[in-house]
Amino acid sequence: MDLRTTIIDNISMSVRAILTDEQLQAVQDALTLQLNAYEIQERTTEVTVIDNTPDSMLSKFLATKRIEGKSEATVQRYRDACYLMIHSLCKPLYEITTYDLRYYLADYKRCRKVSNRTLDGIRRCFSSFFNWLSAEGLIGRNPCAALSQIKYTKVVKKPYTGPEMERLKQACTSIRDLALLEFLYASGCRVSEIVRLNRSDINFLTRDAVVLGKGNKERTIYLTPVALMHLQDYLNARTDSNPALFAGLKAPHKRLSKAGIETTLKQIGKRAGVENVHPHRYRRTLATNLLDRGANIQDVATILGHADLKTTQIYCYISQQNVQAAYRRYAA
């Protein structure tokens, strides 16, 4: 039966005792005319389940970060930091206070003995998460609004010296490792960018290649004649069919991973007697050397794939000798 008919019948039953037959008919006719313009549905009493659990909200936040183009490594850092906090506090997100977060960070530092720099990185993850919750209207008050930045001592990270780079090259026991060191310095690539490169990506004629950097942004990297020479020697000597630019020395010659490159450099550094050897230090060394030799900082930022010049400035180590020379040249 049409719901409109049911409504008219129910109303008629309710007023039948106080109306004459003519009056009742008039009411029924009026209702029929008025209700004809509407489609009527019965209200459901079923409960709609909305998943607003902390884990569900975190998943939606991470999905948003992926849509924004954040790398999977960055998304994973957000997940690790926020997941641990959520399950340590064991409270609904809207009940978490600034004090809760301060206590959590203090306890995290005490138990894990992490540096303030690491702790501030965790705080930034929280801030991004709660800012998103607040913007989406999922919480009333943002507990991170009053959570100040954690101050830490900024240690000046030095690049490799010329003699250190020579000792590292001399400590290489394979043409692959020598090609890798030359490539790291000449390109200024991040390790994550190198591991994705294939042999076919290198243009030996134009001495460059296109890499996929942070935020899935493409950029062109450049190579020196020396780096290309060692790379060509390595590729010519390979007998495997792996398309990867750098592969394992032993069968099945898998693509060299981030951990594989880092381990290789540590071993080379140990043989060379050079401390603190890691891939990223080559990137810092290239940036410093380019600026020392007169390159424009904007060009250096483009080479490194930095969107912000401040990041490039942090990378570069300014030697006191250069500062002194600049003073004597321009101050007098």
Active site residue 317: no
Mark whether 87 is an active-site residue. Answer: no
Residue 232 makes CB contacts below 8 A (sequence gap 6+) with 204
Residue whose pair of structure tokens reads 């009053």 in the numeric block: 146
Place of tokens 């999905």: 63
282 is a catalytic site residue:
no
User: Catalytic residue at 214?
Assistant: yes
Q: How many CA atoms lie within 13 A of 66 on its CB side?
A: 9
Rounded distance, CA 268 to CA 263, Å? 9
User: Helix-strand-coil percent breakdown of the chain, rounded to 5?
Assistant: 60, 5, 35
Q: Active site residue: 70, 176, 230, 306, which one?
A: 306
* Selection from 65, 69, 68 nearest residue 82 by Cα: 65
Catalytic residue among 214, 253, 258, 271: 214
Which is catalytic among the residues 78, 108, 234, 315?
A: 315
Cα–Cα separations (whole angstroms), residue 180 to 219, 278, 279:
20, 12, 10
Residue 143's H or E segment, with its range, is none
Find out whether 185 and 227 touch, Cβ atoms under 8 Å: yes
Question: Which entry of 70, 176, 281, 283 is annotated as an active-site residue?
Answer: 283
Instruction: Please indicate whether residue 315 is annotated as part of the active site.
Output: yes
Tell me whether residue 176 is one of the annotated catalytic residues: no
Which residue in 176, 190, 230, 281 is the catalytic one?
190
Closest-CA residue to 209 (of 231, 237, 239, 242): 231
- Residues with catalytic function: 190, 214, 280, 283, 306, 315
